[in-house]
Each structure stands twice: as structure tokens, then as C-alpha cells.
Structure 1
Amino acid sequence: MQVVKLAVLFLTAFLGRCQAQQRENSSSPWFCHDLDCPPFVTLDKNADYETRQYTPANWVSVNVQNYTYSAAVSKGFAPLFGYISGANKEGVRINMTAPVLVKVLPGDGPFCQNNFTISFFVPTQQGDTPVPTEPSVYLSRLPAATYFVSSFGGFADDTSVPAQAAALTAKLTANGEAFDSSAFWTAGYDAPYKLTGRHNEIWILKSDAAGRSGSTPAKSVAG
């Protein structure tokens, strides 16, 4: 039932996007599907992963505590979709973007809930970002950062996400890469009703030799 609900919300968003003006950045990767995506530069690439440098970007986010990835994403998607549908102080509709970004911060033990932050990218042409009216939704800003990124097909779910994150972690460790092991991100670019040719990503934050990495975005102060 949750999958059906998400599919309906995605379909509404993508149909609305098709009627909107095409975004200016037409050189973005194929997996953005003509949606506005955060710009990045690929610094390096091998058979297992690539190294991307992202510029600072604005996001709208919601925090969810849950035991499973799928349940957390389902719970977090609805208020974010409400925000872009007009649940903001300006009452304006905002174009759907890609990816749906999910930060996964594992709990302290096997019986603890995990912490998830689900985010929508704010369109680059948005200008002043409207303040959310839903208390759980907040505006955030990711600083410039470098991520190790691996991609996989199919659906990002409770089985594939941990497996893919573990695989990327193992490859980075084997290659002697310096990275932040406290959290990882998933990036999803496709609607739930798309069954084939899907593109998902795992992001792990690169750190320097001293272990320093990018900071976690903080809640904005509503004006």
C-alpha cells in the first residue's frame, strides 16, 4: 500500500514537472531525467565507484527515526511532497527535482532505531526558498563536499541498501581511501512505478588523512 501511495505522489510530481519550463542546465547526467539535479564534477572514476565533488546546495529535509530504510523513506516522502505542493508560507508549488537523498545514520546497537534524513533538492532557479509550514520539514544546506559514489539498479530497499553500502565501504577500505564511516547516503532518481532501467547511488563522504570531513547541515531558522 505504501508503494502504491508513493507511486501516485511521484506520478503527480513528474506530470507537473513535464508541464513546467525546462531547466536551464541541460548537460546534467542522463539519470536526472530532465529534472533539476545538484551539479557536481567527477574527479576520478574506476570500475567500482567514482569520486564526485559537489558544490554547496540547498535542500528541504525531514528527520525520521525507524528500524527500516523503506519505512523511513515512505514516512519522510509525504511531508516533503506536501511542501513542494504548496505547504509553505508562500503557498507556491515547487518543481520536483532529483535525487531523493537519504542520509542513513545507523543506531548504536542492533535493537536501536536508525536515524534517517530524507531530502529533496531545491531547484537552482528557485531564488528565495519558501519556508515550510509543516513543523517537521526544514530547510538545510549541504556544504561543498567530495563523495565516493557507487551505483546500482533495481529498487533501493531494506536488502539492497545495506548490501550496497557495505560493498562500497569494503572497496574504499581495500583501496586505502580516507572516508567518514559514521554515515552514508542513498540517492534515488526514479519513480516507484518505473520497473526497469533504474539508477540508485550510495554516497560516502570523503575525509582527509586526519579524518576531517564535511559538516552535517543544520536546521534553518524560520523567518
Structure 2
Amino acid sequence: MDRGGCQLSGGGGGGPGSDSGTPGMITLEDLESFSEDQLSDSGMDEEEGTAPGEADNDRLLHYWQGVARDMAEPIQQLTTNDNGRSNRERVPFSVLTHKEKCGELLYEKRSYEKANWACVTVSEDTYEQSICYGFMRLMRYICKQNSAGDFLGMTLPIVTVIHTDESQSVISRDVTVAYYLPENHQAQPPMPTDNEIVIEVWPAAVMYTRPFTGPTNEGTIIRQITAMAEVLDTPAVYANNTFMVASYTNAAHANRENEIWFMEWR
């Protein structure tokens, strides 16, 4: 397995959402494009989907097959509605101010309300592997493995909380992947059956956000943190070793839409 990311090898590379011949992470949009038969039975067994002795590939394939089975009914619900993707609920916020230069948005200052988030902390060898496994565990919670026993509904963005060293040049292996509970589940969040997924109350917060496109890997994120720090008028106002990456589109898409978030000190 390529240790630079959490990927499938053999039997289709990065899945239907990836560029031709380019492996990518398994995401909601990848799984949405599978047929009903593929979701009921992945069509790949461990011997065909992984090379002998590659324990990481075998483990990822096991995760993928389980998520695909759990998601069969929810994905059918999504794909029967042509507007399913555009109807995904967004995390609510209000814009306080923004800064532009030559028509380019440098950052936006937003206010987010107190809310419930489902979070799982993962510590894999690389950042890419951590967000992949964390996302798949959250998808199982969203689709069926919750106390309501029902599909909870997708929200955007999926947020990754990362920590760096003091120089902001090294990302910690402990990565938290977080899912905003839809509005109709905010008052009474369904409990996860996975005991490593926790429901956290995130307090109201002010975020400085900056958009960027492309893949999210350790090098990209460090560069985005540096770029954001350079454009902030008062860099001392934000936490200097905790940051968030908000992802809005398929992780395998060449022009993936993301944001880097800095939290304002209170």
C-alpha cells in the first residue's frame, strides 16, 4: 500500500470518484455512484482486492465493504432524488467581515453557533489515512449504526481538527474527524454504537476561514496554514496550534473545495 494515503489498490483503484488511473479516498460521492448490486455485495473479495501480505489494503477493503453494505439503503434514498447532493444541509454561520485583495478573497470571519457534532479521533501513520478511516467510521454512524437505527442525513462540510507543533510545520498523528448533526437531530442526537465516536457540544465560536482547492494532505495543509497566518491582520487572535480543515466535495476530485479554519481566542 502507498503509505502516503488511505487508498484502495487493485479492483478499481480509487473508486468511481477518482480521476482515471488515480487512486483516491472512498467518499460519499464515490459510494453514491455504485449500483445497487455493488452496494449489496461489493463484488470484490479480499483475495482479489488486495495483494498478498498487504495488511493495510486488507484492512481498508474490510472497512469499505462494511460501509458499502451499511449505506445501501441511504444511498438509494439519495440517488432517487436528482437534487440529493444540493440538498445536503450546511453548517449554519453568519459572516462578520471579510478581506479581499485584487478581487481575491483572502479570508472570511464567521460566527458559528453552539452545536452538537459527532467526532472520532484516529491516529494512523499518515494524515490521509487518518481522515479516510475516520470518515468511514462516521459514515457508518450516519447511515445505520446509531440509536435511531436510521439514516441521519448528510451535512457539509466534514471537518477535520488537527494539531501542530509550535512552529506549525508538523501535524500530530491524532486527527479528529467531525460531522455536524442535522438540525432535526440537534436537540436529541442519536447515540453511536461505535464507542469511539463521541457526541461533542462545540461552543459558539468565531472562525477565520480561507478557501482552497485540490487535495488535502500534510504538505498542502501546512502551506495553507502558513498562507492564512500571513494574511491575517492580527495573527495573535487565533489559537496557534489547533486548526480545522473543512471539506465540501469528493476527496478524489481534482478541484476539491476546502477551507482552512482558524479559531479566534475568546
- TM-score normalised by length of structure 2: 0.65
Q: Is 1:158 matched with 2:218?
A: yes
Aligned mates of 1:14, 1:44 — CA distance in 2: 38
Q: How big is each residue's C-alpha offset from its partner over 1:163-222, in whole Å with a ceiling of 9 and x where there is no partner?
A: 1012112222xx2241111200000000234333x3100000112xxxxx3xxxxxxxxx
Alignment of 1:97-176 (within 5 A): 97-106=155-164, 113-126=172-185, 127-172=187-232, 175-176=233-234
Which structure would you say has the larger Rg?
2
Question: 1:112/1:8 Cα in 2 relative to 1: closer, same or farther (>3 Å)?
Answer: closer
Correspondence for 1:36 among 69, 89, 92: 89
CA shift, 1:84, in A, is 0.8
> What does residue 248 of structure 2 align with?
189
Shift, 1:162, TM fit: 1.3
Equivalent residues of 2:119, 2:200 under 8 A apart: yes
Does the CA contact (< 8 Å) of 1:44 and 1:50 recur in 2? yes
Alpha-carbon deviation of 1:34?
3.0
Deviations 1:123-151 (A, max 9, x none): 11225211000111111121110010000
Which residue, out of 78, 81, 102, partners 1:17? 78
Matched letter for residue 62 of structure 1: V
Counterpart in the other structure of 2:148: 90
State the partner residue of 2:139: 81
Q: Deviations for 1:46-97, whole angstroms, at most 9, x for unmatched residues?
A: 1211100011121111011245321110121111011011111221111111
In structure 2, the residue matched to 1:217 is none
Aligned mate of 1:180, from 239, 244, 254: 239
Give the Cα–Cα distance (whole angstroms) in 1 for the partners of residues 219 and 171 of structure 2. Answer: 18
After superposition, the CA RMSD in angstroms is 2.8
Aligned partners of 1:68 and 1:114 also within 8 Å: yes
d(CA) in 1 for partners of 2:257 and 2:171? 30
Q: Which runs of 4+ in 1 moved over 6 A?
A: 108-112
Q: CA deviation at 1:112?
A: 8.6
TM alignment of 1:184-223, pairs within 5 A: 184-196=243-255, 198-207=256-265, 213=266
Contact 1:39 1:55 survives alignment (8 Å): yes
**Cα distance change of structure 1 residues 123 and 170 upon mapping to structure 2, 3 Å threshold:** same
Deviations along 1:103-128, one digit per CA (max 9) or x if unpaired, are: 00125898994321101111112252
Shift in alpha-carbon separation, 1:45–1:112, aligned structure 2, 3 A: closer
Which residue does the alignment assign to 2:64?
none
The alpha carbon displacement at 1:41 in A equals 0.7
- With the length of structure 1 as denominator, give the TM-score of the two structures: 0.77
Q: Which structure has more helix as a fraction of its residues? A: 2
Contact 1:60-1:138 at 8 Å conserved across structures: yes
- Decide which moves more: 123-132 or 4-13: 4-13
Native 8 Å contact 2:243 2:260 kept in 1: yes
Identity among equivalent pairs (%): 24
Of the two structures, which has the highest relative contact order with CA contacts closer than 8 Å and spacing of 6 or more?
Answer: 1
